[in-house]
Structure 1
Amino acid sequence: MHFTSEQRLDDGVLEREFTLGEIPGTLWTPESADPAPLVLMSHNNGLPKADPRLVARARYTAAHGYAVATIDAAGCGDRPRSAADEQARADLRRAMQAGEPVDEIFESLIGPLVENAVPEWRATLDALLEQPGIGGPVGYSGGWTALGIRLAVAEPRIAAAGFFAGGFVPRAQREEARQVTVPLLFLLQWDDEGNPRQRALDLFDAFGSKEKTLHANLGGHTGTPWFELEDGCRFLDRHLK
């Protein structure tokens, strides 16, 4: 892991850009000298690690005492995409705007993204846990629910997870949801135009976790109330500290 830049932000959080091979990422760490629990934070499929909403969540969580990291996985953010990926994204946008069925297009796009992303996130996790000031246990938080499901099943170091939305998740991860057993916080925007509500509720019901909590709020996809960040940190405190 090679750090390429760093800056101390006005909330005391240290923000560092890094690369791990071809993987670009960002790490935010608190001022505390004690080893901080690690939170892997992702955004919706393909959005860049510099997305303002992700950065705001990461800085808030780091200021609360966590090391927070995100990456642009293969095909995401500014990393190269194949012609097939670009075509699938264009087809998906067109179908959603036209109100046409999108399941098969979604499967062809998100399924491979998850398969390619998981090894890179696990390699990043290995490298992060070798850094001074970062320790376990590890949490996952993010809007890329399909990735989070696969990581929660495949990665035993993840002790708790927070998922957003979940209306569109590939069939493979819907089946895997039954294998997710870590404590879970699931956020749902009741009027999310891009995530069918009933599918999200069915996914929540499918999770195998004995401790799982659903927070539903009125509003569209980007309208998650700010107080959910506070509740999210309390959830992490219960399971990672």
Structure 2
Amino acid sequence: MHFTSEQYLDGGGLEREFILGEIPGTLWTPPESGDGALPLVLMAHNNGLPKGEPRLVARARYTASCGYAVATIDAAGCGGRPRSAADEQARGELRRAMQAGAPVDEIEGIFESFIAPLVENAAPEWRTTLDALLALPGIGGPVGYSGWTALGIRLLVTEPRIAAAGLFAGGYVPLAQRAEARQVSVPLLFLLQWDDEGNPRQRALDLFDDFGSREKTLHANLGGHVGTPWFEVEDGSRFYDRHLRAGQ
């Protein structure tokens, strides 16, 4: 892992850009970490949008200010990294289908054709990044996850180091991850926007029911896809406090 830049934030937190092989990422750390190892939160934007997306950066900086190391990456096919010709074709087909008011089944089929490969390609790079982050001085876990639900499910069933997860219900979840949800056992905080224009409410409720976790909490708020209230970010930090700081 090679750090390429650093910026001190208001309040003293540190934001550093890094490169790990071909993976670009950002690491935020709090103003003072003391002598103990920091717990870590992996933060991924829904459907692979850029790591520099303002809503993600705001959440990351706040979470770091609460005493966590926070990291995000642009995994394969995400953010500014190259996408395959098949992905670009599927995105074009999706735009045309939505503009034409195509049936839900047709639109979901197009989503499946490019989001499922995104998850398959992104998950190994997130695990590689986790290895490198936990090898850094001052970061020792436990590890939490926040953000993109489809990727989160895949990581939760393949990465035992993740102890708790906050998931955003918005965004299509491929069939493979819907089946994997039954294997998820860590504590969950599941955020749902009740009027999300791109995420049928019942599908999100059914997914919440499918999760195998014995401790899972659903927070539903009125509003569209990008209307999640800021207080949910604050509640999310309290959720991580309960599950990543036990005994500290």
Q: What is the match of residue 61 of structure 1? A: 63
Of the candidates 114, 125, 128, which is equivalent to residue 130 of structure 2?
125
Question: Residues 230, 238 of structure 1: CA spacing in aligned structure 2 closer, same or farther, 3 A cutoff?
Answer: same
Partners of 2:170 and 2:225 within 8 A in 1: no
Give 1:136 deviation, angstroms.
1.1
Tell me which moved more, 99-108 or 226-235: 99-108
Tell me the TM-score normalised to structure 2 length: 0.95
Partners of 2:188 and 2:217 within 8 A in 1: yes
Q: What is the match of residue 39 of structure 1? A: 41
The two structures, once aligned, show a CA RMSD in angstroms of 0.9
Alpha-carbon distance in 2 for matches of 1:174, 1:79 = 26
Of the candidates 189, 205, 210, which is equivalent to residue 214 of structure 2?
210
Task: State the 4+ residue runs in structure 1 displaced beyond 3 angstroms.
Answer: none
Partners of 1:168 and 1:196 within 8 A in 2: no
Partners of 2:41 and 2:145 within 8 A in 1: yes
Question: Residues 82, 230 of structure 1: CA spacing in aligned structure 2 closer, same or farther, 3 A cutoff?
Answer: same
What do residues 75-99 of structure 1 show as CA deviations (whole Å, max 9, x unaligned)? 1111011111111111122222333
Q: What is the match of residue 99 of structure 1? A: 101
Give 1:50 deviation, angstroms.
0.3
What is the aligned-residue identity percentage?
A: 82
1:219 lines up with 2:223 in the alignment: yes
Partners of 2:170 and 2:193 within 8 A in 1: no
Partners of 2:149 and 2:171 within 8 A in 1: no
**Unmatched runs of 5 consecutive residues or more in structure 1:** none
Alpha-carbon distance in 1 for matches of 2:143, 2:149 = 17
Alpha-carbon distance in 2 for matches of 1:173, 1:162 = 16
Alpha-carbon distance in 2 for matches of 1:192, 1:63 = 29
Alpha-carbon distance in 2 for matches of 1:71, 1:56 = 15
1:195 lines up with 2:203 in the alignment: no
Partners of 1:166 and 1:199 within 8 A in 2: no
Alpha-carbon distance in 1 for matches of 2:221, 2:96 = 28
Alpha-carbon distance in 2 for matches of 1:168, 1:76 = 15
Aligned residues: 240
Tell me the TM-score normalised to structure 1 length: 0.97
Helix, strand or coil at the partner of 1:102? helix
Q: What is the match of residue 162 of structure 1? A: 166
Helix, strand or coil at the partner of 1:182? coil
What do residues 89-129 of structure 1 show as CA deviations (whole Å, max 9, x unaligned)? 11122222333131111111011110101110000000000
Partners of 1:167 and 1:197 within 8 A in 2: no
Of the candidates 113, 117, 126, which is equivalent to residue 112 of structure 1?
117
Helix, strand or coil at the partner of 1:120? helix
Give 1:168 deviation, angstroms.
2.0
1:179 lines up with 2:172 in the alignment: no
Give 1:166 deviation, angstroms.
4.7
**Unmatched runs of 5 consecutive residues or more in structure 2:** none
Give 1:46 deviation, angstroms.
2.6
Q: What is the match of residue 16 of structure 2? A: 16
Alpha-carbon distance in 1 for matches of 2:93, 2:151 = 22
Partners of 2:46 and 2:168 within 8 A in 1: no
Alpha-carbon distance in 2 for matches of 1:55, 1:105 = 29
